[in-house]
């Protein structure tokens, strides 16, 4: 059974005259696989990531999404997280007044609690964070500050990967993780992501550019346009896209 | 004006007038002050919405019940009810039903430089320090203060000697300890000598379900170069009325910080007056108010910059759940002489309840031409994007809301310098949120 099974997903922006964004998208992701989703701006890539995470601004009008065979669309946002869905945001928000450490701990313990696991003890938690943070070049000062407050673009992305490393999700959805990163930051973030590749963990890497896929090498590449996947292939497809652009697909769909 | 035209007295006003009939005579200044205060109440009565300063807190219609002045509290009951800030290492004074309870108060072994007595004892002794009472006179009739002046019999009188650094805070615990609704009045005076430093805490509490009336006023006289921190925690019973006044006379190059934390009472009004009468001083007034149900709470500030070069900062946070109502009024007056004044005032409200309401009224009156003054007010719900982010990490909705509310309130609470008091306030905020969840 696929870890994630998206079948004929249709979704629109919530509201009476909400625009339809996803128009029959299907995708199967097995444990251990890394799928890249590429496509032009406005093709619905970010919407897909938000719908998987459970953002309430969208309405699913048709189709199904299951995680380990369970109906994902029926779950609350926090329930999805506890089941192992993690969205690394394209633009992580700043949460002033909530210290990063407090936030990480509240997240981890809330997920564990929902899964019927014991809370992590303070020393274990501190050790866990210290270890993971060091690999991502995140210092103590950043951990003491409010979540993402005053972080640079690169620091925000690293902080997202730190959260991912601590929460150990089954399905990581990385939404344009490369946006706003210079080449050094891209390397650090990619190494962080690669370290999390595991046989029981799948990833969906959403990106506009092939550049990220030099660092996070996918098993499959999908091209998305106008709310659907229009072509799928291996990692070489990304190179082809880099050379030829998306124009061909946009014309096809038009 | 035709003095014969009087509004009909409400029952509450009639009861207060009956209490005022007992204001004692006497020829000294304090007796004169009291009689003058009683007269001003007789003339003006309880303020209503047509009185600008009370526009959003119409005391005449809110305060309906007539209650007598409270009698002496039973010591055991007062002790059992005074729970707030008990964990904080401080010199503790208990005022029950408006009178200091010596058996529950830490009046002995005073640190060098600290003198502490009761208001009643100071009056009986004709203590000269009481000449400081009534030093700040509000420009407009203030019913809450007038009633306090006329009817308060007791409270604490604290004097900090010049240059003394008193590390241990004094905590005055006000408690209502009676089985029937009554009114209590307490008046305190804190004189901080030049170059001295001091932390003063007040708490207010009483039983739920009794429409008792608490009225407290504390005057602070802050000497040149002194440092005063005031922290107050108001958790009156759910049906109570809380009226309080804090008055500050701020000397030169001094630093005054006050934090008011309001959680309790059906109706609460706290008024802060500051007169900046010495140059180059800093005044910081901050507050947080957490309201639920049908609670009504009003924080009103008057800052009077009389001299050049002073700085004032105000940050008030209000959280409104259910159909609660919050009021913030802040007025900064900058006199013609008060050049180089730097004043900033901000009120922020976080609205959780569908029926909640916040009224913000900032006012600036500037007569000097070289000043920096600003004010702002915001009012909004919890940010959906933040909530989504927290929930996407597995934090359930209620818990995520609590974290965000705590962060919102935290920005103000963090300004409390004293570690023990700050932690105690954080704990009270957490308890409020836990009760909500």
Whether A73 and chain B come into contact, CB under 8 Å, resolves to no
Tell whether B77 is covered by a domain: yes
Strand order in the sheet with B282-291: B99-100, B91-96, B170-175, B197-205, B227-235, B255-262, B282-291, B311-320, B342-351, B372-380
Contact B214, B245 (CB under 8 A): no
Of the residues B343, B364, B381, the one at which a domain ends: B381
Contact A60, A11 (CB under 8 A): yes
Same domain, B195 and B314: yes
Mean pLDDT over residues B256-263, rounded?
Answer: 98
Q: Report how far residue A129's alpha carbon sits from residue B140's, in angstroms, rounded to the nearest whole number.
A: 58
Same domain, B286 and B167: yes
Strand order in the sheet with A202-207: A85-88, A171-175, A202-207, A34-38, A220-225, A228-233
Question: Which of B388, B392, B395 has the CB atom closest to A106's CB atom?
Answer: B395
User: Which chain A residues are Cβ-neighbours of B392 within 8 angstroms?
Assistant: 53-54, 77-78, 80-81, 86-87, 89
Same domain, B94 and B174: yes
* Domain count along chain B: 2
Contact at CB, A78 and B397, closer than 8 angstroms: yes
pTM: 0.91
Tell whether B18 is covered by a domain: no
Look at residue A254 in the predicted model and tell me its pLDDT: 43
Same domain, B211 and B286: yes
User: Which chain A residues are Cβ-neighbours of B403 within 8 angstroms?
Assistant: 98, 102-103, 106
Same domain, B361 and B405: no
**CA quadruple B212, B83, B94, B272: dihedral positive or negative?**
negative
Cα angle, residue B405 at apex, residues A152 and A130 outer, rounded to 5°: 45
Tell whether B63 is covered by a domain: no
Residues with Cβ within 8 Å of residue B36, at least 6 apart in sequence: none
Q: Are strands B197-205 and A171-175 parallel, antiparallel or unpaired?
A: unpaired
Tell whether B15 is covered by a domain: no
Domain that holds residue B412: 382-437
Q: Mean pLDDT of all residues in chain B?
A: 95
Low-confidence ranges of chain A (pLDDT < 70): 251-254
The pLDDT tens digits of the residues spanning B121-179 come to 999 999 999 999 998 888 889 999 999 999 999 999 999 999 999 999 999 999 999 99
Q: Are strands B282-291 and B255-262 parallel, antiparallel or unpaired?
A: parallel
Q: Report how far residue B198's alpha carbon sits from residue B111's, in angstroms, rounded to the nearest whole number.
A: 12
Helices (H), B155-202: none
Q: Report residue B21's pLDDT band, with 50, 70 and 90 as the boundaries.
A: confident
Q: How many CB pairs under 8 A join A and B?
A: 80
The token pair that represents B345 in the structure block = 């005032």
Same domain, B327 and B391: no
ipTM of the complex in this document? 0.96
Contact at CB, A95 and B397, closer than 8 angstroms: no
Same domain, B345 and B405: no
Domains of chain A, CATH where assigned = 4-253 (3.40.50.300)
Whether B406 and chain A come into contact, CB under 8 Å, resolves to yes
Tell whether B262 is covered by a domain: yes
User: Which chain B residues are Cβ-neighbours of A107 within 8 angstroms?
Assistant: 390, 393-395
SS3 B264: coil
The token pair that represents A46 in the structure block = 């970010």
Same domain, B354 and B264: yes
What is the chain B residue with the closest CA to A89? Answer: B389
User: Which chain B residues are Cβ-neighbours of A108 within 8 angstroms?
Assistant: 394
Contact B352, B321 (CB under 8 A): yes
């Amino acid at each position: 059974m696929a870890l994630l099974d998206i079948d004929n997903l249709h979704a629109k922006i919530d509201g009476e005259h909400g625009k339809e964004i996803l128009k029959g998208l299907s995708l199967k992701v097995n444990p251990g696989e890394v799928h890249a989703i590429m496509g032009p701006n406005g093709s619905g890539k970010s919407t897909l990531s938000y719908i998987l995470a459970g953002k309430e601004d969208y309405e699913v009008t048709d189709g199904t999404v299951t995680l380990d065979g369970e109906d994902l669309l029926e779950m609350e946002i926090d329930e999805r997280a506890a089941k192992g869905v993690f969205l690394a945001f394209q633009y992580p928000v700043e949460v002033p007044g909530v210290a990063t450490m407090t936030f990480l701990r509240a997240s981890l313990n809330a997920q564990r609690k929902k899964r019927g696991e014991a809370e992590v003890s303070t020393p274990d938690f501190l050790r866990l964070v210290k270890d993971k943070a060091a690999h991502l070049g995140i210092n103590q000062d950043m951990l003491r500050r409010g979540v993402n407050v005053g972080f640079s673009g690169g620091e925000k992305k690293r902080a997202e990967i730190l959260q991912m490393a601590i929460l150990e999700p089954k399905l990581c959805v990385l939404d344009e993780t490369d946006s706003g990163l210079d080449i050094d930051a891209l390397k650090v973030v990619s190494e962080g992501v690669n370290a999390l590749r595991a046989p029981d963990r799948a990833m969906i890497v959403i990106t506009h550019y092939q550049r990220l896929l030099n660092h996070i090498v996918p098993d499959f590449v999908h091209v998305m346009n106008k709310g659907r996947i229009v072509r799928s292939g291996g990692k070489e497809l990304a190179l082809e896209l880099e050379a030829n652009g998306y124009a061909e697909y946009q014309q096809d769909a038009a | 004006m035709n003095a014969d035209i009087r509004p009909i007295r409400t029952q509450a006003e009639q009861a207060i007038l009956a209490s005022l009939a007992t204001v004692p005579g006497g020829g000294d200044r304090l007796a004169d002050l009291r009689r003058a205060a009683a007269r001003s109440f007789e003339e003006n009565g309880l303020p209503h919405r047509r009185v600008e300063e009370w526009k959003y807190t119409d005391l005449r219609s809110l305060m309906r019940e007539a209650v007598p002045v409270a009698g002496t509290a039973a010591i055991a009951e007062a002790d059992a009810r005074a729970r707030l800030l008990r964990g904080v290492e401080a010199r503790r004074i208990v005022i029950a039903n408006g009178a200091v309870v010596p058996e529950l108060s830490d009046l002995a072994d005073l640190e060098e430089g600290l003198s502490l007595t009761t208001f009643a004892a100071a009056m009986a002794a004709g203590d000269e320090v009481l000449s400081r009472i009534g030093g700040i006179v509000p420009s407009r009739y203030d019913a809450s203060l007038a009633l306090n002046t006329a009817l308060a019999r007791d409270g604490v009188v604290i004097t900090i000697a010049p240059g003394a650094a008193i590390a241990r805070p004094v905590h005055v615990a006000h408690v209502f300890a009676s089985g029937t609704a009554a009114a209590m009045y307490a008046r305190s005076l804190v004189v901080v000598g030049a170059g001295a430093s001091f932390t003063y805490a007040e708490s207010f509490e009483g039983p739920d379900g009794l429409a008792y009336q608490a009225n407290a006023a504390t005057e602070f006289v802050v000497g040149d170069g002194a440092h005063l921190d005031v922290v107050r925690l108001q958790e009156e019973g759910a049906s109570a009325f809380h009226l309080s006044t804090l008055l500050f006379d701020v000397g030169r190059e001094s630093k005054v910080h006050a934090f008011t934390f309001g959680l309790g009472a059906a109706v609460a009004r706290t008024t802060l007056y500051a007169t900046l009468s010495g140059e180059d001083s800093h005044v910081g007034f901050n507050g947080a108010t957490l309201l639920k149900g049908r609670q009504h709470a009003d924080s009103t500030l008057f800052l009077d910059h009389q001299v050049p070069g002073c700085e004032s900062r105000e940050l008030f946070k209000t959280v409104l759940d259910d159909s609660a109502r919050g009021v913030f009024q802040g007025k900064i007056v900058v006199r013609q002489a008060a050049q180089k004044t730097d004043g900033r005032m901000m009120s922020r409200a976080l609205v959780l309840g569908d029926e909640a309401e916040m009224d913000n009224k900032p006012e600036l009156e500037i007569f000097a031409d070289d000043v920096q003054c600003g004010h702002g007010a915001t009012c909004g719900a919890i940010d959906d994007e933040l909530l989504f982010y927290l929930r996407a990490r597995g934090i359930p909705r209620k818990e995520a809301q609590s974290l965000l509310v705590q962060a919102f309130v935290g920005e103000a609470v963090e300004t409390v310098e004293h570690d023990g008091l700050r932690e105690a306030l954080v704990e009270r905020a957490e308890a409020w949120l836990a009760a909500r969840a």
